[in-house]
Amino acid sequence: MCRLKLHQKMAYFRIGRDHSRVTLLAGFNHQVQWGGRSSHETIDGRMPNGIKNYFRIVSGKPGDASSTPNSFDDGNRVGNHLGTPTTETIWAQPQYADFFTSNNRVSVYHLGVRGKLFRRVEWAGKCSYSSNWGTYNAPFKSSVRQFSAVLNLQTRVSIAGPTDIGASFGLDTGKLFPQTFGAMLTVRKQMSIY
């Protein structure tokens, strides 16, 4: 291979600001080798070249017989495409180590229950109520109370085979941590490849 060309692009999107509690990042990288000469899958050693093929490379469109010098790139994507998607979630929460080191005198009442609703929906609930006094070296002025709870629901439905659908709801309220409510929806599909 010689005189290859490289096209590379990336696009990233961000939802949230520097001071947001949650910031979502998503994007992709796309690279394509094209042009030049190669003995692999070419006619007369030439690879697709020129402005028409460049636009096909950028957009990922397939080649056609009038613009590609070989049968491999005719009908396939022109060039050798490589790409990687990227996602990241950044949670701007307090560092837990700060709370562990500044609060190791704790009294907690905890309750966890689970069951089935209408013989189809599995559920589990957990809640904790704590009284927190800080540390012996740095005690809080008075007891700091906190309530935390989570409820998980899950059921199986038939969407192109068995599919699990779930929802979770969480709550923190009190003086130890900021008041927070969260929710999550999940869809899980298991498949066997044989």
104 & 182 share domain: yes
83 & 106 share domain: no
Tens-place pLDDT, residues 11-53: 888 888 777 778 888 888 888 877 777 777 666 777 777 788 7
User: If we measure between CA atoms, which residue out of 89, 83, 87, 90 comes closest to residue 10?
Assistant: 83
Residue 132 forms part of a structural domain? yes
Backbone angles phi, psi at 101, to 5 degrees: -75, -25
Of the residues 33, 62, 90, the one at which a domain ends: 90
73 & 134 share domain: no
Residue 54 forms part of a structural domain? yes
Residue 82 forms part of a structural domain? yes
Does the structure show a pLDDT above 50 at 119?
Answer: yes
3-state secondary structure (DSSP) of residue 137 = coil
Residue 159 is part of which domain span? 99-189
Do 188 and 163 touch, CB atoms closer than 8 A? yes
Do 132 and 119 touch, CB atoms closer than 8 A? no
Residue 156 forms part of a structural domain? yes
Does the structure show a pLDDT above 80 at 154?
Answer: yes
Number of structural domains (the chain) is 2
Q: How confident is residue 101, by pLDDT bands cut at 50, 70 and 90?
A: very low
68 & 105 share domain: no
13 vs 74, higher pLDDT: 13
25 & 105 share domain: no
128 & 173 share domain: yes
What is the pTM for the complete model shown?
0.46
**Beta bridge partners of residue 113, listed in sequence order:** 125
